[in-house]
Amino acid sequence: MPDSLFVTSRCLTIDILMSWLYHMVMRTTLTLDDDIAAKLRAEVRKSGRSFRETVNRVLRLGLNAPRVPVRTRKFVVRPRPLNVKAGVNLDNVAELVEQLEGPSHR
């Protein structure tokens, strides 16, 4: 593979030189998880392209893929009766806590 590959402790680090705007050279270091690096190596073997070409092609495909919005179900709150005992006021929380736990609740 013509591109520089460095294997660190648990990740594969790749240095890629690529031409940008026909006159600038940009060097980028990617740190890939082991599973992604293995898939890229398999794609290199399968396609016969260089590692650099494969990385660029896969990134281009992923970045240009149409973003399909995930359809989620609308969340619906279903009210239920509280069955509150007569004389219990739920509007004042401090008063309610005092009624339930007594005056020394603090």
pLDDT tens per residue across span 38-65: 999 999 999 999 998 999 999 999 999 9
Question: What strand order describes the sheet that includes 24-32?
Answer: 4-7, 12-20, 24-32
Identify whether 26 is part of a domain. Answer: yes
Report the predicted TM-score, pTM, of the whole model to 2 decimal places: 0.44
Identify whether 106 is part of a domain. Answer: no
Other C-beta atoms closer than 10 Å to the C-beta of 34 total 11
What would the pLDDT profile of 52-102 be if each residue is shown by its tens digit?
A: 899 999 999 999 999 888 888 899 999 998 887 777 777 888 887 887 787
Identify whether 95 is part of a domain. Answer: no
d(CA 10, CA 45): 22
Other C-beta atoms closer than 10 Å to the C-beta of 50 total 13
- Please give the tally of structural domains in the chain: 1
Contact present, 16 and 52 (Cβ < 8 Å): yes
What domain range includes position 36? 4-64
Identify whether 54 is part of a domain. Answer: yes
d(CA 14, CA 55): 10
Residue 23's pLDDT is what? 47
